[in-house]
Amino acid sequence: MEVTDRIASLEQRVQMQEDELQLLKSALADVVRRLNISEEQQAMQNRKGPTKDQPSTKKTAPSEAARSGNVSKPARPLMPTLPLRPVVNNGTVLPKKTSGSLPSPSGARKDTSSPANKSTVKRAGSTERVGPMRRESPGDPKSSRTRTGSTSSNCSGKKTSESKPKDPVFSAGKRRVTHCKEEGYVKMFLRGRPVTMYMPKDQVESYNLEAKADLPAKKLKLDWVYGYRGRDCRSNLYLLPTGETVYFIASVVVLYNVEEQLQRHYTGHNDDVKCLAVHPDKITIATGQVAGTSPDGKQLCPHVRVWDSVSLNTLHVLGMGFFDRAVTCIAFSKSNGGSNLCAVDDSNDHVLSVWDWQKEERLAEVKCSNEAVFAADFHPTDTNIIVTCGKSHLYFWTLESGSLVKKQGLFEKQEKPKFVLCVTFSENGDTITGDSSGNILVWGKGTNRISCAIQGAHEGGIFALCMLRNGTLVSGGGKDRKLVSWDGNYQKIQEVEIPESYGPVRTVAESKGECVLIGTTRNYVLQGTLYGEFNPITQGHTDELWGLAVHPSKPQFLTCGHDKHITLWDSSSHHPVWSKTIEDAAQSAGFHSSGAVVAIGTQTGRWLVLDTETKDLVTVHTDGSEQLSVMRYSPDGHFLAIGSHDNYIYIYGVSDNGRKYSRVGKCSGHSSFITHLDWSVDSQYLMSNSGDYEILYWIPSACKQVVSVEATRDIEWASCTCTLGFQVFGLWPEGSDGTDINGVCRSHEKKLLVTGDDFGKVHLFSYPCSQFRAPSHIYGGHSSHVTNVNFLHDDSYLISTGGKDMSIMQWRVV
């Protein structure tokens, strides 16, 4: 584990150095651009009189500034010796590639455990505002490094001459938009690359770039959250007296009434929730989060939110500006009415602090440990005693006149474990710990010495301890996946093994009657008894999630991810219809128009087709060796188009209701990886987007590219998932570098457009979205990049998937 951490740290440092180099290049390019502007302004002043009436100036190719009517002579091209990204021989600018596969146009930027801080860089003296320069940093989820952004339009060093000098021009950081009425197109620049989008003929005369778009008439309401964060969080599962089970995933705290099949959601957090505590009154709840970001890219501090589980109102916010990186452990005091709260952050010193949460006052703080802290809890009868445990330590803290005094647990004859993993308390006040050696140790009340030891209670680490109301102690094992119950004398009562498919036990909580709730490291929440019979009430993916497809006629959707799991979900019952494990990490999915089969694309170039009813394998094929980002059947069901990271689109003929496939060929023409595909309504044409912001059109039956504008501008498209195109360009935010939008989907009634972005947000626009800076309703909940969005077949719900947060969110359209 330590070697892995060191390697990750070195990789992070290398990435930081690369980013700094990239930022320097960007800054240099900006300096040269400003020199350009300065020269142009000087030239304009020197030749202001004569040039006004000289028609000869039209013969030159106007620069960007010239198109807005400000400059009379073309600017000299930007120094070609400073490319911001690799340039191939034909001058095409390609996104920077990293080792391994690239899951999206964002490249390696997506490989983070959670979204990073996005900061805004302002360059004084520039005549053009540079938008937010945001980057997710590999390795360090909350680093404050910035993502380098290119200057607006001159990165390729090319001049363009398609537009007339009097066209309206909007400038937006790295994105510039121009409109040419004569030719009927809008041109947008993403990272210096021009993207030309032709409008339908019937809009050429009436279109106005400066017109304001309207907000959509509909809104979204979070209806259901699929998934649970058990993989790397502890003590995050409780049953409330209302019958609701409370847990969290991404930045949402879920209150799930299993009997009534209802969920409520606390959405006060803006990034990953990492810990949860329930007050002795069983109504008030405290949750702690990692460092987050505000909508304008500013850093938000990690903090604790205390809230009411009945009204879902936030009561208090603690620790803004005090905690570092994240809050990893919290607990309420028990004996003084729960007026105190303790918390441990994720700083290098893992600072333990005690708060009067109602007054929002910090009573004491102390450096807890240089090593990881796994749990912190108040003694049930003595408010002034706090117990913390973690790597290589067990500490008993006493709160005395504003300071915390430490006593170390003495293992004496007992071999000291590498990790003390969990802690609870007996009815008489003894402290009970479970450790990585599989031992349960009992520490006498008021002492730091062992009074009783259960050697080898589990094979491998003990991840959870829970003291039931009747005095029974329940321990949950990691390696052995066993749930063991012990009586008051620590004699074993019962032992049961959790099925391997559910994974090791992460946390145990008391439920109704003799039932217990179990959270596992494979992100299941199980309900069962100490005698067996465990039923999952919640389950989710365990690795990055990208694939999403909706059934064409049923209230069902399918998800697949890098965990090699494929799950078909019923959006009405909120339960899986079936799940299946495959050999390769899955990246994309698409249903046949009949709904009888679904195609799955993997990261290895292999793709497979499954029967939707039986989940049986229909066929397997391999195209190339890189990841398949898009699987898209034609509306008539006779073709399958596969977009690959090897820059090709593979076309297959489909027959027998999706059960037979014959390769037609491959569409070759993109100079970067394929990101999105859309079919025409008549299944005759295909539109594709790529990682270098190209829009190409194809006749898939012949694998021929269509270059005629007149042949493509009026095509009616069956879907709208491409992020680049005239009907959708208004969705791009200011300062975007072209990789911020991962998923787009148009509603079937063609009135709404939804996007998922790198910053954990779902945006709802009106469709068409062909006005610059179109307004949108914005929804949070995901704590990682939103990888995919899709409306159900009847537009009643929207499904969104989170990348590293592995969550699936179902939104009601209202």
Cross-strand bridge partners of residue 376: 388
The CA-to-CA distance between both ends of the chain, in Å, stands at 48
SS3 18: helix
pLDDT of residue 787: 97
C-alpha 704/C-alpha 734 separation (Å) is: 35
Look at residue 452 and tell me whether its pLDDT is greater than 80: yes
DSSP 8-state secondary structure symbol assigned to residue 204: H
H or E segment to which residue 385 belongs: strand 385-390
Q: Which residues contact 447 (CB under 8 A, 6 or more apart)?
A: none
In the sheet with 473-477, reading across from the earlier edge strand, the strands are 462-467, 473-477, 482-486, 492-497
C-alpha 180/C-alpha 289 separation (Å) is: 48
Span 37-65, average pLDDT: 50
> Dihedral (C-alpha) 109, 115, 117, 118: value to the nearest 10 degrees?
60
C-alpha 21/C-alpha 11 separation (Å) is: 15
SS3 730: helix
Above pLDDT 70, what percent of the chain?
A: 83
- Chain CA centroid to CA 96, Å: 21
Closest CA to 809 of 548, 618, 600: 548
pLDDT of residue 114: 39
Which single residue is written with the structure tokens 């009562």?
Answer: 493
Residue 87 tokens, joined: 């340039």
- 505 neighbors 520 (Cβ within 8 angstroms): yes
Closest CA to 541 of 586, 571, 483: 586
Higher per-residue confidence, 604 vs 129: 604
C-alpha 285/C-alpha 532 separation (Å) is: 30
C-alpha 456/C-alpha 472 separation (Å) is: 19
pLDDT of residue 163: 39
Band of the pLDDT at 809, cuts 50, 70, 90? very high
Tell me the per-residue pLDDT of 153-177, one tens digit each, with 9 for 90 and over.
Answer: 333 333 333 333 445 555 444 457 8
Give 747: exposed, middle or buried? Use CB within 10 Å, 0-12, 13-18, 19+.
Answer: buried
Handedness of CA 123, 124, 130, 134 (dihedral sign): positive
Letter for the amino acid at 604?
A: T
C-alpha 628/C-alpha 584 separation (Å) is: 12
SS3 397: strand
Look at residue 543 and tell me whether its pLDDT is greater than 50: yes
Cross-strand bridge partners of residue 407: 396
Span 701-726, average pLDDT: 96
SS3 233: coil
> Dihedral (C-alpha) 235, 239, 240, 244: value to the nearest 10 degrees?
120
- 599 neighbors 637 (Cβ within 8 angstroms): no
C-alpha 726/C-alpha 739 separation (Å) is: 17
Cross-strand bridge partners of residue 345: 327
Phi, then psi, of 448 in degrees rounded to 5: -115, 30
b/e string for 308-340 if b means 16 or more Cβ within 10 A?
Answer: ebeeeeeebebbeebbbbbbbbbbbbbbeebbb
Let me know how long the chain is.
814
pLDDT of residue 169: 59
Mean pLDDT (the chain, rounded) = 85
Measure Cα distances from 71 to 57, 155, 180 in Å: 10, 20, 18
Instruction: Please give the radius of gyration of the chain, using alpha carbons only, rounded to the nearest integer.
Output: 29
Letter for the amino acid at 592?
A: H
Q: What single string gives the DSSP state of each residue in 113-169?
A: SSPPPEE----TT-SS----EE-PPSS-TT---B-----SS-TT-----SS-TTS-E
Look at residue 805 and tell me whether its pLDDT is greater than 60: yes
Higher per-residue confidence, 471 vs 72: 471
Which single residue is written with the structure tokens 């005693």?
Answer: 385
Q: What single string gives the DSSP state of each residue in 777-805?
A: EEE---SS-EEEEEE-TTSSEEEEEESTT
Tell me the per-residue pLDDT of 721-740, one tens digit each, with 9 for 90 and over.
Answer: 999 999 999 999 877 888 89
pLDDT of residue 6: 79
C-alpha 139/C-alpha 16 separation (Å) is: 10
Measure Cα distances from 579 to 314, 569, 585 in Å: 37, 9, 15
Half-sphere exposure of 248 (CA within 13 A, CB side): 29
pLDDT of residue 23: 73
Tell me the per-residue pLDDT of 586-599, one tens digit each, with 9 for 90 and over.
Answer: 999 999 999 999 99
pLDDT of residue 21: 80
pLDDT of residue 71: 36
Q: What single string gives the DSSP state of each residue in 700-727?
A: TTTTEEE--HHHHTTPPBS----SSSTT
H or E segment to which residue 516 belongs: strand 515-520
Give 408: exposed, middle or buried? Use CB within 10 Å, 0-12, 13-18, 19+.
Answer: exposed
Look at residue 329 and tell me whether its pLDDT is greater than 70: yes
Assessment of whether the complete model's pTM goes beyond 0.85: no
Band of the pLDDT at 463, cuts 50, 70, 90? very high
